[in-house]
Structure 1
Amino acid sequence: MAVIDNFWQDRPVFVTGHTGFMGGWLCAYLMHRGARVHGYALPLPTDPSFFDATGLGERLATSKFGDVRDLDALTAAMQSAAPSVVFHLAAQPLVRRAHAEPMETVSTNVMGTANLLEAARHVPSVKAIIVVTTDKVYRNLDRQEPYTEDSELGGREPYSASKAASEFIVDAWRHSYLHAQDIGVASVRAGNIFGGGDWAQDRLVPDAVRTFEKGQPLVLRNPNSTRPWQHVLEPLHGYLTLAERLVSDGEEFAGGWNFGPALNDCRPVGELAQLMAQSWGTGASIEVEPDQRIFEEQFLSLDCSKARSGLGWRPRLSLEQGVEQAIAWYRAYAEGADMWNFTTRQIEDMETMEATA
């Protein structure tokens, strides 16, 4: 399905988690399409950040700092924005931090989602809600077959469990309240995203950039683990298309949606690391750490045939192209480039590409 012409032009949109990596890219993409974007999130999670690098705060319609666990503050911010579409990205998104801080993770990811949905049902302007969860919501059987939207949900460590629980919250609010109010709500499950402007700890691409910049080796703990790697822009254009359909057709497009890479881009950690080192060039090297300090599944991939058939969505960037885009962004930042213009050009370039699968 094609993008609806001018759908986003001057449309008010509310984004939680806009200070984060993916939230920042989503805001940039929405503004590229002409939307008036209102952000609500905790203060910047990293320094440097995509938010600061692109001057995002100065470009948003409003940018408010707040906790999604504060229902009153969240509701007030949403009522003030009066959005047509809500994107919920605010979360504790790191697996290893979840292992160290399980209660913080569960309260943010589960109660934060419940608060978002509860706030939205009391704002009459809301027509569609997209809740961003993760590919790790599926009960992982450590199998090579990709997971479909009908696969069983579950999690055996705090991060996955909290995200699977948030999916149940979405389903409960959808059936109990939002359907009766003609608010379309969907959850979206992307692969392992990467791209320029991510400086989080314990994530492969930003860890690689930090070590390569220092001329130090990138240390891998699970080089053989296979993940559905994808550049951050890949799922985002799917999210925007889905939001358009939720507004126009509601319940027909509600529920869960996978937005992952082509299956041949579900590759081992070690292979992605090698691609990054090759793209970086001089000073990049890799080492393997012998111990595995926390439990993580070995295999994970997504079946995205529903998005292909139902939305006409397909990946556009190969893994190699995505890595090149990410490394180019970090290098441009280091050289002092105008990162808003650079980010916008990467969005424009992606939109002109043909689907890869």
Structure 2
Amino acid sequence: MDALALAFKGRRVFVTGHTGFKGAWLCLFLARLGARVTGYALAPAGTPTMFELARVGDTLERHHIADVRDQAALRRAMIDAAPELVLHLAAQALVRHSYADPVSTWSTNVMGTVHVLEALRACPSARAALVVTTDKCYENQHWPWGYRENDRLGGHDPYSASKAGAELVAHSYRSSFFAAGGPLIATARAGNVIGGGDWSLDRLIPDAVRAMQQGSALPVRSPHATRPWQHVLEPLHGYLLLAARLLGGDTSCAGAYNFGPDAADNLSVATLLTLLQAHWPQLAWRLDGDQHTAKEAALLYLDSSKARQQLDWQVRWPLATGIEQTAAWYAAAARDPGGARAFTEQQLEHFCA
């Protein structure tokens, strides 16, 4: 991690979506590296949240509660922060919610990305930007092998399709406005992340935590669906390696990258729950009778060879370790909510070591 510390120490970084689960972990990672972070996002949703429990706001130089769909506010905030790097994570990130509210999903994920890149055009300090999308941006062919960065984009549900749209937006801006100079733009596609501090609705582990707290069985829609599970720090490490190369002016890295787990960690929902039960014996689950109300991919793998070869990115925690760390985080937060920040930093130190 010494090279990353050299790359980010003192750097001005603008992070959208910093109040979310993944964004909160990213801000703490950047703080550890000595970066000067400005956050721009909606207020933390629900309670508790990783952002509030881990006191992420204390690590920020600026903290904007605003919407990426507000183009004028976003532009002002970015210009005021004068970042060298922009990390765009703000999104509507839930598949089932995208069926319930497709308009906000499309407007946030596509036009929000347009607004970020438009603000980037007006920000002379910026040297690089990374747009975070998802493994679900690929048109799912149900192949038994991993998707590569040059495979066809698409998506049946509004969330997946809108993230494919965000990829096209980034490619268009890179080709149309930054081809002859200016900030280098890359996109990052990661799989299903787990980790302490996620309380989002309609996600497997947060739903499992709530079910255990209520003493009920977790309803599971698709127990045989396979996903590329990984601890949240794995893709974040990849994003930072990629961003460091962009900041260094490496034009060969201005493109799309997958950050997925090793093949052995592409597991079914049922298998993941079985592994969790080793740490949470009280966890019980049942088949959800509402399992077919929304179409979701049954099989999805990522091929991350490009990131391994070009960025020297490697998985640090196999999924068994990621599950152990996730279970330990929730247990520690339940015992001592005020110690969530310290415990989070301990896990980050363990990962970086």
Q: Which residue of structure 2 lines up, in the alignment, with residue 286 of structure 1?
A: 285
1:30 aligns to 2:30 (yes or no): yes
Give me the whole-angstrom Cα distance separating, in 2, the residues matched to 1:179 and 1:150: 19
Partner of 1:347: 348
Cα drift, residue 5 of structure 1: 4.8
What are the superposed Cα offsets for residues 182-223 of structure 1, whole Å, 9 maximum, x if unpaired?
A: 311100000101111110000001001111122211111100
The offset of 1:108, in angstroms, is 0.4
Asked whether 1:104 is paired with 2:91, we answer: no
Q: Is the 8 A contact 1:179 1:251 kept in 2?
A: no
Residue 320 of structure 1 and its aligned partner are, at CA, apart by: 1.2
Q: Secondary structure at the match of 2:144?
A: coil
Q: Which residue in the other structure is 2:44 paired with?
A: 44
The normalised TM-score by structure 1 is: 0.96
The 5-angstrom pairing of residues 8-157 of structure 1 reads: 8-157=8-157
CA distance in 1, matches of 2:4, 2:316: 19
Query: Using the alignment, how far apart are the partners of 2:179 and 2:82 within structure 1?
Result: 19
The structural deviation recorded for 1:3 is 2.7
Q: Residue 292 of structure 1 aligns to a residue in which SS?
A: coil
Distance 1:16 1:70 in 2: 13
AA aligned to 2:124 is P
Root mean square deviation of aligned Cα:
1.3
1:292 partner amino acid: H
Q: Would you say 1:163 and 2:163 are equivalent positions?
A: yes
List per-residue Cα deviations over 1:158-195 (Å, max 9, x = no partner).
01110001100000000111232331110000010111
Task: Tell me the distance in 2 between the aligned counterparts of 1:340 and 1:7.
Answer: 24
Distance in 2, matches of 1:13 and 1:330, equals: 29
Q: For residues 235-290 of structure 1, what are the alpha-carbon distances to aligned partners after superposition, in whole Å with 9 as ceiling and x for unaligned? A: 01111110010111342101100000001100001111111122112x21121224
Is there any run of 5+ residues in structure 1 with no aligned partner, and where?
A: 353-357
Shift of 1:58: 2.2
Q: Would the aligned equivalents of 1:146 and 1:303 in 2 still touch at CA under 8 Å? A: yes
Structure 1 distance, partners of 2:243, 2:258, is 14
Number of the residue aligned with 2:308? 308
Q: CA separation in 2, counterparts of 1:218 and 1:2?
A: 42
Contact 1:2 1:312 in 2 (8 A): no
Decide whether the 8 Å contact of 1:155 with 1:161 is kept in 2.
Answer: yes
The letter for the 1-side match of 2:155 is G
Determine helix, strand or coil for the equivalent of 1:6: helix
In 2, Cα distance between equivalents of 1:48 and 1:145 = 38
265-274 or 3-12: which moved more? 3-12
SS in 2 for 1:115: helix
- Partner of 1:179: helix, strand, or coil? coil
Equivalent pairs counted in the alignment come to: 351
Q: 1:202 to 1:119 in 2, by over 3 A?
A: same
Letter matched to residue 284 of structure 2: S
Corresponding residue of 2:267: 267
User: Is the CA contact (8 Å cut-off) linking 1:186 and 1:254 kept in structure 2?
Assistant: yes
Q: Which runs of 5+ in 2 are unaligned?
A: none
Match of 1:338 in 2: 339
Aligned residue for 1:198, secondary structure, equals coil
Partner of 1:355: none
Change (3 A) 1:4 1:104: closer
Counterpart code for 1:226: T
2:208 aligns with: 208
Native 8 Å contact 2:148 2:303 kept in 1:
yes
Classify the secondary structure of the residue corresponding to 1:142. Answer: coil
- Report what 2:248 is aligned to: 248
Query: Is the deviation greater in 332-341 or in 169-178?
Result: 332-341
SS for the counterpart of 2:229 is strand
Q: Check the 8 A contact 1:128/1:250 in 2, yes or no.
A: no
Q: Distance in 1 between matches of 2:89 and 2:46?
A: 16
SS of aligned partner of 2:286: strand
- CA separation of 1:341/1:194 partners in 2, compared to 1, >3 Å: closer, same or farther? same
Letter paired with 1:351: C
CA shift, 1:65, in A, is 0.5
Aligned letter for 2:287?
A: V
Conserved? CA contact 2:4–2:240, under 8 Å:
no
**Alpha-carbon contact 1:130-1:187 (below 8 Å) kept:** yes
Are the equivalent residues in 2 in contact too, given 1:105–1:162 (CA < 8 A)? Answer: yes
Runs of 4+ residues deviating >6 angstroms: none
SS in 1 for 2:249: helix
- Aligned to 2:153, what secondary structure does the other structure show? coil
Q: Give the CA deviation at 1:2.
A: 7.5
